[in-house]
A and B are shown apart, each in its own frame.
Chain A
Amino acid sequence: MREKVRDLLKSGRVDVFLAYRQVDGHPLPQAFTLDNMEDLEHLVTGPARYPLDKMASRLAKAKPELKIGLLTRECTQRGLNVLATWNQLDPDRIETLGIGCCPSQLHHGADCSHLVPEKVGAHKLEIGIDNRAKPQELDALSQEERFRRWSYEFSKCIKCYGCRNICPVCFCTECSLENQELISGKSLPPEMPIFHLARAAHMAGRCVDCGLCEEACPMDIPLRLLYAQVGRIVDGLFDYQPGADTTLSPFTFLGEQVTLEIKPLEEAQEA
């Protein structure tokens, strides 16, 4: 890895390479350039996980002429694809070195911070939602119960905007979550459920299921689960997986024809 980064920098294929550097026991994101080549020996690949893709796109926005290289896990690669899809990054100016790991509970080779799911307390299991659940496991619950459980989770929110701030694919300059006319800025917890559902709606066709939002959430709201369901809906309706490649999200173009059917009134009836 170090050799590869050195080659990339020396050959001029990248001006700056984003990876991690071990500092006092903390793996911190670091921009390696020709000027600090000696730091390369402290380069590490994990286990901390920062949104390097988001950092790269911010850097690219401030310095469009830069050629940026970065360390990518599978989630970072998906994030880069989504950013390229939404014209936030020029993929020609990005070089990646993949370490091929994915923060999945099923993935045994993963070495990042989301590998081991945290234990969930008994109280939360009873009235809230298990962060480790899969979206389909919630299908068995009645509408009433779902709403009660999600309301409990949403009511914990301290509105730190951490989920949005850390999200690799949240790049808008003006955020709906801060628009006073859409969501009142005065209340805490934020207006429920609009605050979280508005964000979930924005994640449609974008969320790459990296799990950084849930990691950054101080209140352990099962955000990854919520957005995983968003991904599941989008996959079911449009057969679209954000970040799999650079095809456009179904929400960004009208399309040649309507492929969906109106949901009949009776069928939607559910107690």
Chain B
Amino acid sequence: MEYKYVPSICSYCGTGCGVLFEVLDGRLMSTWPLKTHPVNQGKLCIKGWNLHEYITSPMRLTSPLVKEDGRFKKVDWDRALSRAAQGLKDVIQEHGPDSVGVLVSAKMTNEENYLAQKFARAVLGTNNVDHCARL
């Protein structure tokens, strides 16, 4: 038997509440708030309380999907990325770079957000960058 409590950070929003996962024999049983975490001080919202549910959810995306003939198909990363690149290229060629926008997330690190805006400005050539925390 293996029964342990694993501290972690909630992955839902940018607040970064401390959570504790109850793991029994490698299966995630439940989520608890991390009582001593300075951010949430032992409190969680409804999403944080139910973090364990999405790990095994059948709705969860576990591989890239590409829409072919109106249906999503599981593909590998190379194929998905080249398809995305081709799609972006087509749109930019036809309508110009400002027809594309990039949305970034508060849940990404600063560095990843920086890379995303660099990608938008330097590669795509647009200033259309937005962020969920830009209120």
Contacts and interface: CB of A to CB of B under 8 A. Distances in A.
Given A31-B3, A59-B3, A218 B45 contact: yes
Interface stretch (A153-161, A227-235, A242-250): A153-161
Contacts of B7: 23-24, 26, 28
Given A160-B49, A217-B43, A62 B24 contact: yes
Contacts of B20: 28-29
B35 interface: yes
Contact of A30 (B4, B33, B35, B49): B4
A49 interface: yes
A218 B44 contact: yes
Interface in B43-72: 43-46, 48-49
B127 interface: no
A160 B30 contact: no
Contacts of B36: 25-27, 48
B1 interface: yes
Contacts of B43: 160, 162, 215-218
A237 B106 CA distance: 53
Contact of A26 (B1, B37, B40, B48): B37
Contacts of B10: none
Contacts of A30: 4-5
A49 B49 contact: no
Contacts of A15: 1
Interface string B16-35: 00101010100001101111
Contacts of A215: 35, 42-43
B35 A50 contact: yes
Contact of B44 (A25, A27, A58, A160): A160
B1 A162 contact: no
Interface residues of A, number: 33
Interface in A200-228: 215-218
Q: How large is the interface on B (under 10, 10 to 19, 20 to 34, 35 or more residues)?
A: 20 to 34
Contact of B22 (A48, A49, A55, A158): A55
A14 interface: no
Interface string A32-70: 010000000000000011100001001100110010000
A16 B22 contact: no
A104 interface: no
Contact of B46 (A50, A66, A158, A166): A158
Contact of B49 (A33, A59, A66, A165): A165
A88 interface: no
Nearest to B7: A28
A231 to B, nearest CB: 23
Interface centre among A15, A63, A159, A160 (most CB of B within 10 A): A160
Contacts of A151: none
A160 B29 contact: no
Contact of A63 (B1, B30, B48): B1
Contacts of A26: 7, 18, 34, 36-37
A205 to B, nearest CB: 25
A215 B49 CA distance: 14
A113 interface: yes
16 contacts: A16-B1, A16-B3, A24-B7, A29-B5, A29-B20, A48-B42, A49-B35, A50-B32, A58-B29, A59-B24, A62-B29, A162-B49, A215-B35, A216-B43, A218-B40, A218-B45
Interface of B: 1, 3-5, 7, 18, 20, 22, 24, 29-30, 32-37, 40, 42-46, 48-49
